[in-house]
Amino acid sequence: MSKPIVFVTRMLPQPALSRLLEAVDAEVWPAELPPDPDTLRLKTAGRDGLLCLLTDRIDDSLMEAAGLQLRVISNCAVGVDNVDLAAATRRGIPVGNTPGILTETTADFAFALLMAAARRVVEADAYVRDGKWHTWGLTTLLGQDVYGATLGIIGFGRIGQAVARRAAGFGMRVLVYSPSTTQEDNTITQTDLHTLLAESDFISLHIPLNKHTHHLIGPDEFSRMKPGTILINTARGPVVDPEALYTALKTGQIARAALDVTAPEPLPADHPLLTLDNLIIAPHIASASQATRGKMAEMAVDNLLAGLAGERLPYCANPAVYH
């Protein structure tokens, strides 16, 4: 019997890749950069399955062009804002994602950004390398205390909760604003968004990107923050209005920000945000530990193979497809 044919939009880590290649007839896109939209469309046409990354836009027209035989889309990420889930559901195509496995790794990185921004680690490194370290100074590179500060967490799913656990170790007071219902937890205080913005020393974003969260943090929200506030974004870039962020950092409306995600991604080298010293930017690597990326690839392969076999995906982002 012939194997199902699939397109994989980027090289996967081992052992996930070998397992996939044994089970299916796969074309794996070999380049570092993703296939452009026309190539992606061309390569997906006629395939039974698609394994993609968050950099690939999977819209209705791509599914249309793929053909009726396309029976599974497996996204190697927990976020699925790059996939038109409603269109996939309408077409009866289950979409897989990778929840849970990257929770702790992502929370570690959110906290690493928080600490680095609070204690100006990136500026301090540049200061030494630039030959500016002439003596021990009483007021050199003063930062903010993390211990005992108030952390506002926006979005209290798995990753938000994991960040709260880390904050407990630092004796932080944790405020939570969660657009969806949150279970009782006596280590945090649930509040409305405006209270969180006004009272937090650090604000960390952990919500998915959708039409309700697009530019959730804009000019009005920045104006409600304290001047010393540090904003951390490991969720999705467009949750923050980049122009408003630039103004808030440039004018001292907030103290600092640390981003793992930006809008757009990647950020062009001449983007105004990159002129700011009070901003740390990482290239979307919060889940990038060797172990976690390997497990994400395994989950993505599990989802793909289940979909190809006509089985329910172990991790399905559009369970309504089964109704």
Active site residues: 236, 265, 284
Q: Given the rule CB under 6 A, which residues bind ligand DGY?
A: 54, 77-79, 102, 287
- Whether omega for the bond prior to residue 15 falls within 30 degrees of 0, making it cis, is yes
| SS (HEC) of 139-159 | CCCCCCCCCCCEEEEECCCHH
Helix (H) or strand (E) holding 165: helix 158-169
Report the alpha-carbon distance of residue 150 to residue 166 in Å, rounded. 13
| Shortest distance, position 285 Cβ to ligand DGY, whole Å | 8
Residue 304 Cα distances to 27, 52, 100, angstroms: 14, 10, 18
Backbone φ and ψ for 272, nearest 5 degrees, come out as -55, -35
Of the pair 244, 296, the CB lying nearest ligand DGY is at 296
Nearest Cα residue to 315 out of 301, 60, 234 = 301
Q: How far is the CB of 5 from ligand DGY (least distance, A)?
A: 26
What token pair was written down for 221?
């929200």
| Beta carbon of residue 240, minimum distance to ligand DGY (angstroms, whole number) | 15
Q: Compare residues 77 and 174 and give the one whose CB is closer to ligand DGY.
A: 77
What's the min distance (Å) between Cβ of 188 and ligand DGY?
23
Distance CA 50, CA 61 (A): 15
Closest CB to ligand DGY among residues 54, 304: 54
Peptide bond just before 266 cis, omega within 30 deg: yes
* CB 239, min distance to ligand DGY, A: 12
Cβ proximity to ligand DGY, 9 vs 287, nearer residue: 287
